[in-house]
Structure 1
Amino acid sequence: MTTAATSTAENPLPVRTVATKVAGWIDRLGSVWVEGQITQISVRAGTRTAFLTLRDPSADMSLSVTCSPMLIQNSPVPLTEGARVILYGKLSFFTGRGTLSLRATEIRAVGVGELLARIERLRGLLAAEGLFDPRLKRPLPFLPRVVGLITARASAAERDVLSVAERRWPAVRFEVRNTPVQGPSAVPGILRALAELDEDPTVDVVILARGGGSVEDLLPFSDEALCRAISRATTPIVSAIGHEPDSPLSDHVADLRAATPTDAAKLVVPDAVAERELVTELRSRSAAALRSWVQREARALDALRHRPVLADPLSAVARREEEIAEMRRVVRRDVERAVSREATTVEHMRARLTTLGPAATLARGYSVVQRMVPGSDPEVLRSVDDAAPGTQLRVRVADGVVTAVTMGRSSAT
């Protein structure tokens, strides 16, 4: 028989061969445990086979399941569409129709306790990876241009967010994405809407809103894929899931948690009336502060103006003028005293010099005798030896000068 390795365009494999081989490969997989969410149940009376559709809560993937109707009827927990279950069965490939299905031999409904335990385990994992770290939280814009809203169509959460936001700031704009918020199609729809709004450059913040519900209803918002998508988003995200007691994992991953959708609108959109009142109050406070400053400066100027130096600026100059005049008088007096004292000293010295001078000596009867030397100045006669007979002499007395000639000399008596 032709094998897959030797099949060519000239020697192709027939459909039956391929189908048989696929059935053989799948049969070798053996039995497996599978977890998912029931989206469809078909049990017809009088048939020996019931049909279910099992969907992955986090992806747009499903698997056909067949089982005995008794398996569904005898389940300790009623199996309904949307229920989370764990199936045990064997995969089968029906060669006649070319379809794959899981033949289930055991079905277990996942109880609330088990769901909560799984959420706690996922909570610990995400916390260990740092997805809950407050340092990663992005601040919300004061006045967003466009607000993205992900919620169910025509829901109370949508009405609350839109009405409260428009009442607080009438000019606010919204980009609304309606998706299922519970059931098997919730997570894929929310992921698509979140990716679309996050890529829109005009959207400044995204609100993820849903009203309250049971633990099973809020399971999509504790889905791992959704939590990681929220942490990867570049746009700030506000989680407004359920009411105050509800706390899905998306609340911890989001940048801000709101207790209710109404609270989310109040956190994202500022109140125009409150902001106007705040502006009015700030203007009033600023005006009061400015008036207080002007009054304080006016008082300071008034105090400066009443100071003596500014009230009568020339008084200081007059006082300085009087001080200078007094100083000049004192200096003049001291100078005159010094001059008078020095003049008296000079007069005394002049009198002494006059008494000791040559003129006074001549006046007392003395004379100065000079020898006349031809060709030179007269010389004072100091000795009789210098005046030989016939020497011409010049005699200076008190009232004039006479000339004489030596006749001789005699010894002193």
Structure 2
Amino acid sequence: MTSTTGALPARALDTTAGTPWPVRHLSAKIAEYIQRMPSVWVEGQVVQLNRRPGTTLAFLTLRDTDTDVSVPVSLHTRVLEQATTEISEGAHVVVHVTPAFWPKRGSLQMQADEIRAVGVGELLARIEHLKRILAAEGLFEPSRKKPLPFLPRVVGLICGRESKAEHDVVVNARARWPQVRFEIREVAVQGTQAVSQVSAALAELDADPAVEVIVVARGGGAVEDLLPFSNETLVRAAAACRTPLVSAIGHETDAPLLDLVADHRASTPTDAAKQIVPDIGEERARLQQARSRIRAAITHRLHREEEGLAAMRSRPVLARPHTVLDAEAEQVARRRQAGRRALEDRLHAGAADVSRLAAQVRALSPAATLDRGYAVVQHGDDLVLRDPAEVEVGQALRIRVARGELPATVAPATPRFTGPEHEDEGAT
């Protein structure tokens, strides 16, 4: 049996196992605390809206657009009727609520006294403001864009469940390149679950090393339907993605912020299929053209080289390589002959000079005089006799002629001539 109220601890910190608070007291304390809370404006998305028949009450669930958090809200039907725009499930609203705690059930509920739908203009203004913030951070810079792989083996695809976008991407991609494989993640692409599910799928595919490119596809829609793809949480998750990302959210006129932060934007899911894989027919045609160009270039180069070789072979120096040697040999022969002639002429001239000098020497030699019939008379110590007065009668002399010597003795002189031409001649 519980203690009396007067014996209850005054504070929650003072309670023990022996002196606990009864449930009614705890509920009263919670209700008292919550009643002190002021009213607050709350923004979220209506995910459930129920009007109870026979009553003036309506109940809705207000969910956060970024995370999976929701609170129940009760309001009078007149509050819904006073809203400037009809409130329906999926509407983005701001609600003026007061927290209320029901002690009997121990439940917390928000009681609304005013509700306003957030208009498209205001939503677009908020997106534009977020766009300026993200642009200032550099998330839209072209330098951050990653190039697409030429031929990805595995493509990650994030799309709605059994959606037309999935069909367009898969069918068109496989028509262009049948070997391409897909890792498909079917998620909510609109509503309150879209941001969390798309972000989770994006993180999962980005962590898969086999996935080489990721496509986020949706087949367009109203501005309200595309709001999750301009959500800051999702946009930042896409900016942090390391795998090349292709955004194929809407049509040409749709421009959610995911298009700006993605590495490549496709106007439609079909356009995304064309961007991520090449067309096998076009590639084969290009390959054939390249092979034809290479073959033509090689053939042209070979013909040009053959013509060059033929032209070189037709030159005299290559047609008759010894022609150059013949000319040089002839020149060497001419120079040898000229040198021989010069040497012979020099020898002949030298021989003539020698002969002339020899003749001169012979002419000056005493032997030449002896050859002409003259004789040399010597006496004493081989002295040449130049004057008859140098000898005496009976003195022995030697007479040298051209062919030898003769002994002689000086005899008395006897005149043997009378003519004046013989005055100087003597007798031996």
CA contact (8 A) 1:371 1:394 kept: no
> What's 1:53 paired with?
61
| Deviations, residues 262-305 of structure 1 (Å, cap 9, x unaligned) | 00000001111111111111111111111111111111111112
* Separation in structure 2 between the aligned mates of residue 368 and residue 70 of structure 1, nearest angstrom: 187
Match of 1:176 among 177, 181, 184: 184
Give the number of equivalent residue pairs: 395
CA contact (8 A) 1:169 1:269 kept: yes
* Separation in structure 2 between the aligned mates of residue 84 and residue 358 of structure 1, nearest angstrom: 156
Structure 2, unmatched stretches of 5+, are 1-8, 385-396, 409-428
Is 1:143 the counterpart of 2:151 in the alignment?
Answer: yes
One-letter amino acid of the structure 1 residue matched with residue 136 of structure 2 = A
> What's 2:107 paired with?
99
CA contact (8 A) 1:149 1:206 kept: yes
CA RMSD, 1 decimal: 3.1
* Separation in structure 1 between the aligned mates of residue 304 and residue 261 of structure 2, nearest angstrom: 54
Shift of 1:212: 1.6
Distance change >3 Å, CA 169–CA 399, structure 1 → 2? same
Shift of 1:52: 1.0
One-letter amino acid of the structure 1 residue matched with residue 190 of structure 2 = Q
TM-score relative to the length of structure 1:
0.86
Is 1:113 the counterpart of 2:121 in the alignment?
Answer: yes
Distance change >3 Å, CA 165–CA 51, structure 1 → 2? same
> What's 2:333 paired with?
325
> What's 2:321 paired with?
313
| Deviations, residues 96-137 of structure 1 (Å, cap 9, x unaligned) | 333322221211100111011011001101100101001001
**Percent identity among equivalent residues?**
50
Shift of 1:235: 0.9
Whose Rg is larger? 2
CA contact (8 A) 1:2 1:13 kept: no
Distance change >3 Å, CA 235–CA 15, structure 1 → 2? farther
* Separation in structure 1 between the aligned mates of residue 118 and residue 88 of structure 2, nearest angstrom: 12
> What's 2:229 paired with?
221
One-letter amino acid of the structure 2 residue matched with residue 239 of structure 1 = S
* Separation in structure 2 between the aligned mates of residue 96 and residue 394 of structure 1, nearest angstrom: 191
Match of 2:80 among 67, 72, 75: 72
What SS does the corresponding residue of 1:77 show, helix, strand or coil?
coil
* Separation in structure 2 between the aligned mates of residue 356 and residue 19 of structure 1, nearest angstrom: 171
Distance change >3 Å, CA 338–CA 95, structure 1 → 2? farther
Shift of 1:27: 3.6
One-letter amino acid of the structure 2 residue matched with residue 350 of structure 1 = A
Distance change >3 Å, CA 338–CA 81, structure 1 → 2? same
Shift of 1:48: 3.9
Shift of 1:81: 0.5
* Separation in structure 1 between the aligned mates of residue 289 and residue 352 of structure 2, nearest angstrom: 91
Is 1:285 the counterpart of 2:293 in the alignment?
Answer: yes
> What's 2:198 paired with?
190
What SS does the corresponding residue of 2:152 show, helix, strand or coil?
coil
CA contact (8 A) 2:375 2:399 kept: no
Structure 1, unmatched stretches of 5+, are 373-378, 382-392, 405-413
Bigger mean CA offset, 186-195 vs 254-263: 186-195
* Separation in structure 2 between the aligned mates of residue 106 and residue 214 of structure 1, nearest angstrom: 26
One-letter amino acid of the structure 2 residue matched with residue 141 of structure 1 = P
CA contact (8 A) 2:247 2:264 kept: yes
One-letter amino acid of the structure 2 residue matched with residue 329 of structure 1 = Q
CA contact (8 A) 2:74 2:112 kept: yes
One-letter amino acid of the structure 1 residue matched with residue 263 of structure 2 = D
Distance change >3 Å, CA 198–CA 11, structure 1 → 2? farther
Distance change >3 Å, CA 6–CA 329, structure 1 → 2? same
One-letter amino acid of the structure 1 residue matched with residue 201 of structure 2 = A
What SS does the corresponding residue of 1:64 show, helix, strand or coil?
strand
* Separation in structure 2 between the aligned mates of residue 262 and residue 175 of structure 1, nearest angstrom: 17
Shift of 1:354: 3.1
> In the TM superposition, what are the counterparts of 1:224-373 in structure 2 within 5 Å?
224-357=232-365, 359-360=367-368
Shift of 1:397: 7.2
TM-score relative to the length of structure 2:
0.83
* Separation in structure 2 between the aligned mates of residue 278 and residue 56 of structure 1, nearest angstrom: 52
